[in-house]
Structure 1
């Protein structure tokens, strides 16, 4: 049986680091989901294979229900001996701006990828996890979803929605040995934060630095492991003490 882990938005940043950790440290065959950046996705897979891990690329838009069903359905049909034990819902976008000027597209696209994407991907697998009586669902949210961030009403709403879903789903599936948790990063050094004023923002962080994607991946890797079996329905902040 090929035990697998699916990571959405797995081609760069936190997603890439998570893919590498799950493959190398936990020995999962990693399904690297991405939407459009073929070069970055191929690079992520190459890193995993060079380190002795295994994986493959699955290109689809998590917000498109038909794409999700078609691609994951095809994979399931072609891998009858494969079972996805771990789902990391990491895909997300930010379209920041004051709410008074926020367009309907900027509102809906952010919610579609984070919140609808969580539904589309997790719902595809949930009955399979229940039948298998084991699973780890880990949702990457944000400090913005925990406390709210000015200029990110859409992003905060999307991530807060996933937090609510995390807590509710955890209660529904716990009896089948499936845990559902959320990880809420603060300022992490990735493509999404490269245009931020790191020197200025670091002043807000008690640990006096931005976090690294690998540090978030370490936490995700723990939650994906059997060591975390009694933790479910939790939102774990990883933000250098900026908010807890």
Structure 2
């Protein structure tokens, strides 16, 4: 197995970091890896904002729901879906700007961020650093947008802590391949694989916590998706992307941004 495969298959989320900075050259290499990732139409619909200031990291830790590892990590990156550059391009070329009326752009932006995020994670781990993704960046999306001084058509999608690991949490077991990999068509009968994974997951929790933690994967996932977990996201997206149910109105908003 080559080094790249070893890095990918050894991934684990790190939530405790040493009080040790990341070298500038390391961060530069990580950003270079992000910029080398593929994107839809080569539109490069991703922007990354680095937060290093301790006071600001503490603020983001609070906005994300009290995640202390954001404070501990020397660098906190915020990955954004970015169509502001497309808007500027439309002004330069004097063309209509249809992003506010095209829901597919939300999928495009989130997909591009996901690809870029994985590039950053793999690059970081290849340098001996640890990472953890922070979906909580969307917990108070309107406040995050203000804190980062984002222009219209730019949306925070995920945060990423990067630093020198102060822990080795071990590998978390994944679903059976049969539950996620399908040949030719989607196979609906996956209940047996999921129930089998429940036992594997429960054993993992018990072993990791020395018997103090119990639960199943289905219980965790079902509880999480039983409610709207981040209130206000839809309103923040509508405002930031200037989305309107009236197509002509959304065109006007986009041109006036």
TM-score normalised over the length of structure 2: 0.26
Richer in strand (by share): 1
TM-score normalised over the length of structure 1: 0.27
Larger RCO (CA under 8 A, 6+ residues apart): 2
